[in-house]
Structure 1
Amino acid sequence: MGIATGRMASVLRGGCLLACMALLGACTRHGQEGYARYRTNCGICHHGGEGLKGEIPPITGRVDRIATSPEGRQYLMHVLLNGLNGPLKIDGVPYNFFMPAFRAHLSDEEIASILSYLATRGDTHPAPVFTAAEVARERTHPLSSSTVADERRRLDAIHPLP
């Protein structure tokens, strides 16, 4: 009985190890895809995620916190799909800029991978994960980039956004 129990424990450890390796591999592929999409579509302005004070808002360490509420998740998808235009205040710093819409340039999966990647760049554990299905639902309701800025101001008044 002791030998059988030892073998079973060994098999279970091996199975757990394989499952963990598969999960980590999937996360890495998703993270690499999100990073690649971010780099080619967002990184040109947002740089490494730190932005440019007073001109381009930082996004590192913010997306994960905004995504903790359903309204915040929706807002983040609206930003990528519809763009963002208008004066905003982020962490006390005023920004008045224009971010283009990616609705016509990126698929639902690509937008989900960018947002999921950015969510990993914060302190929220586990990091929020966005799905293509969520983005597809939001895609059906086009908004102006000014309306998205108004949405941010409304959310910020309810519970301050980072």
Structure 2
Amino acid sequence: MRRTFAVSALLIAAATGARAETAATLYSANCAACHRADAAGVAGQYPPLKGRIDKIAVTAEGRRYLADVLLYGMVGQIEANGAAYVGYMPAFNRLSDADIASVLTWISSLGGSKPPPAISAADVTAARAQPLTAAGVAKQRQALEAAHPLP
């Protein structure tokens, strides 16, 4: 019995570690070129993700917005941590719902929230079922910002 439990615990730990490694690899391949490997962004060009995504993901509307940003991209000006950013975020809708959820959850884990909010594949699937344009995502952000300020 103890042996079975120990083996099960090791398998669960290995699977969890593999998911985090996959998410980190996906982030590195798709996000790090702009938002940097440490998710700190580039002042004036690419907003920081670390320490912000976890705060946005605490509400269902925030998780939906984050999924929409990755699925449909975004264009226009945003404010992040008190700094203005004007630009274009490309769509990553070629990634699977599970991959998008994995990357968002991994970025969320870089913030200070304990436990960090998780974005599920179901959250992404729901967002994919209601397509938006990049401009529509920007409007969604404005509405979210009006409801409660985003970091």
Structure-1-length-normalised TM-score: 0.85
Partner of 1:86: 76
Give the partner amino acid of 1:158: A
Structure 2 residue 42 is matched with structure 1 residue 52: yes
Structure 2 residue 13 is matched with structure 1 residue 24: yes
Cα RMSD, aligned residues only: 1.7
Structure-2-length-normalised TM-score: 0.90
Could you tell me how far 1:27 is from its partner in structure 2? 2.0
Structure of higher CA gyration radius: 1
Partner of 2:137: 148
Partner of 2:121: 132
Give the partner amino acid of 1:100: P
Contact 2:57 2:119 in 1 (8 A): no
Cα distance in 2 for residues equivalent to 1:97 and 1:20? 45
Q: Tell me, which stretches of 5 or more residues in structure 2 are unaligned?
A: none
Query: Where does structure 1 differ by over 6 angstroms across 4 or more consecutive aligned residues?
Result: none
Structure 2 residue 71 is matched with structure 1 residue 99: no
Count of aligned pairs between the two proteins = 150
Structure 2 residue 146 is matched with structure 1 residue 157: yes
Cα distance in 2 for residues equivalent to 1:21 and 1:125? 23
Could you tell me how far 1:134 is from its partner in structure 2? 2.0
Percent identity reads 37
Structure 2 residue 56 is matched with structure 1 residue 66: yes
Moved more, 77-86 or 109-118: 109-118
